[in-house]
Each structure stands twice: as structure tokens, then as C-alpha cells.
Structure 1
């Protein structure tokens, strides 16, 4: 019988510390924080992030399907509605301020990096349970909050009007987003608490793969400017 231990999200991070740091402190993130990221890189990221959000909504739809009680059902539905009813509109408006029209967004081709990560998340949820899905989504759900906290603590960061990416930084360092990420961390800690060692190892692999795919998503933006 597999040993049961009090696992946690931080233990997941500790197990994949090198790729997690490479993701959270990626050169794309550093240049964004310093305001030196080429605008072509950021626009490419914004376009592909629109497609990512569509699949992100699909993942929360899958979370609704995978739910086993009312609390989980409500969590999945609330997240799905937040993306469809709020986040997508905000993203379209933000893209417009960067000269990217909604019609252009709707006609986009998916980059391979976008396909790889989003399909991986959906596959993890389809073949596993709700916890598998959350672990695959964690680099995005919790990672962006961690990235924002790390960025604003760096000496190279440029804030305010001097940085064209100030609005992006403000969005993810906002109390609302940080609270949402913390709520997700608490939920995951509750679910991870009494997992077996064998089950935890499976989740470590999922978290590692998802983190590596997020690294590729950042790198895609830098490659676009080459």
C-alpha cells in the first residue's frame, strides 16, 4: 500500500524547482518588466494568449464535467463564466489598444506552442480527475501571480508610463488576481494533503510537463521578434 503524506503545492514546486524558476524568471518576463521587450514579441504573445483563453475556458468546462460535488461544480462554473463573460472581453479590448482587432483575433492560426500546452492541459483533465486538471493549469493559474510578485521585487523593473507593459504588470499584481491565485493554492493544498506517494509522483510529472510547456510559450514570443 502506498504511503500517505501531507503533500502540498509548494512540494510540487520544490520537485521541479529548476523549470519553475526558468518559467517564472524567463527572459520574456524580464524584458517585459524592464519595458525593453520588442513590441512584436508582445503582440504575438497577445494574439496567441487569446487562443489560449478559449482553450482555458474549455478546460474549466471540463472541470465542471469532472466535478463530484456542488462545491467543485460551483468553482468550475464560476471560473468558466469569469473567462467567457469577463476575461475574454477585457483581453479583446486590451488587444485593440495594441492595434489588434477582434476580427484579426478570430482569424488567427494557432502556434505550435499554443497547441502543445492547451491540448496537454485538456488531455491531462480528460485522462485524469479534477486534481490532474488543476495541476496542469497551475503554472498559469498560480504561476502568473508568482511572476508578478517576483517582477515587482526586481531592481530592474520599470513601472508607470515609462513601461509600455505597465497595464499587464498591474493586472497580475492586483489584489484581485493575487487573491484568486491564493484561493487556487489553498484548494490544491487541501486536495494534495492526503495523496499517496505514488499519486504525488504522477502529479509531479504533470506539473513538470505543464511548466516546461509554459516556458515554450514565453520563448515563442521572443522567437517571433528574431
Structure 2
């Protein structure tokens, strides 16, 4: 189900989510054009690059789950607390289940993936996430974790219509294009709208900056997998 960016109606305030997405339009366009993403669709992405992605994503999701747990602790309402706590548990489940399946099909195990070093981009991204959720406001933390929800949903949605000749990549696309995941993302975007509506212009501007920064890290994460990034020294 599409999550359209609706134009503002006369006399209504612009949703905060529209402000956020407008700020990353160029980043999202660059993500869709990246050879890692186009290679998923046409099946030309080398399995070594996808394996690098899976390994680093396993590392990433452990810290992302911690970031979501902090968001749960600071969430404004009981329903939001439960939802973020569930998302944190879901991030761990994704690591244990889907990534184990991918590693098995790529030649390896979840234990082998866990033993591989955390890459530079992964370390930078998760460090920024954790610093923001711990050190900033709830809105700051929400804006920082939101791109991992929202961009994956939009990419999955865009790629679902094209699919992939590679069954491994098709499985990945279907996971993030699935309506169940899209519904989760709509819930988090709606929370961003509610929280942003109550914030000051200065607080919203700070949150936009966090959102743009972690959106850039999303592009960098796929690029790191494409390059099979390692520590230079």
C-alpha cells in the first residue's frame, strides 16, 4: 500500500513527516540509483556484496534494537512504549531469523557473521544513533531512528513491483515491501507527526537535521556493502 506524500490542504498545518521527507528527497533519489539497489532488482548484485550487507546489518540491528528500546522508555504514551518495545524485539528477531537464512544460503552461519568485525560505516551509524537517543530529546531520537523504518519501506515498495530474478534478493524485497511492515512504518510516521506538531520550530529543525544525517548513513550503508568496506588501517 502506497504511503503518498500528500499536498497540504488550504488552512491546514503541514505535517512534520512532509517536512522530513522533503529534506531527504535528494538522498532517497540517490539511494534508488545506487548500484547496490539496482543490482538487487536486475539480479546483477554480486553475492559477496550482499553477504557483506547481511553481516553488517546483523551488527547494526543489535544496536538499532537498543536505540528503539531507549525510544520505548521515553515514548509519550503507553501504546507508543509497547510499540517501540515490540519493534526492538522485532529487530533482534530479524537478525536471528532472516539473517540466519541468508547466511545459510550465502555460505556461512549467523555465528560466523557475528564474529566478523563491525565495519567503519556501521560503527559510525550506530554510534550516532545511540548518542542521539540517549543525549537528545524524544523527538531527536525518533527522527534519528525513523529513516531505517521509512526508507526501507519506500525502497521495498518501489522494488516490489519490479521484483528480482534472484530468489535471495526477491526474498529481501518482499520482506520490506510487505504490507505488515508498511503498516508498522505508517504508525511510526504518524507518531512523528504528533510529536512534531507539539514541538517548537527550533526543536523541529534539530530533529530534521538528525533525520537527514541518518538518511545519509542509510545511503552510506548500502555503499559500504557495494564496496565491501573494511577498515583502512
Q: Is 1:54 matched with 2:67?
A: no
Q: Is 1:74 matched with 2:78?
A: no
Report matched runs for 1:168-207 at 5 Å: 168-207=172-211
Q: 2: distance between equivalents of 1:178 and 1:64?
A: 20
Q: 1:117 aligns with which of 122, 125, 128?
A: 125
Q: 2:215 aligns with which of 204, 211, 224?
A: 211
The runs of at least 4 aligned residues of structure 1 exceeding 4 Å deviation read none
Unaligned runs of at least 5 residues, structure 1: none
Please give the per-residue CA displacement for 1:67-89, whole angstroms capped at 9, x wherever unaligned. Answer: 344233212222222233x3222
The number of residue pairs the alignment matches comes to 216
- Per the TM alignment, residue 172 of structure 1 is displaced from its structure 2 partner at its CA by 0.8
Q: Hey, what does 2:18 align to over in structure 1?
A: 10
Q: Hey, what does 1:150 align to over in structure 2?
A: 158
Q: State whether residues 113 and 217 of structure 1, in contact with CA within 8 Å, keep that contact through their aligned partners in structure 2.
A: yes
Tell me whether 170-179 or 86-95 shows the greater mean CA deviation: 86-95
Q: 1: distance between equivalents of 2:184 and 2:34?
A: 23
Q: 1:33 aligns with which of 41, 66, 69?
A: 41
Please give the per-residue CA displacement for 1:93-147, whole angstroms capped at 9, x wherever unaligned. Answer: 3322221212202212100000011111111111112221121111111110100
| SS state at 2:19 partner | helix
Evaluate the alpha carbon distance shift between residue 164 and residue 103 of structure 1 in structure 2; reply closer, same or farther with a 3 A threshold: closer
TM-score (ref. length: structure 2): 0.85
Give the RMSD, CA atoms, in angstroms: 1.9
Q: Hey, what does 2:10 align to over in structure 1?
A: none
Query: Larger relative contact order (C-alpha < 8 A, sep ≥ 6)?
Result: 1
TM-score (ref. length: structure 1): 0.87
Evaluate the alpha carbon distance shift between residue 166 and residue 115 of structure 1 in structure 2; reply closer, same or farther with a 3 A threshold: same
Q: State whether residues 35 and 158 of structure 1, in contact with CA within 8 Å, keep that contact through their aligned partners in structure 2.
A: no
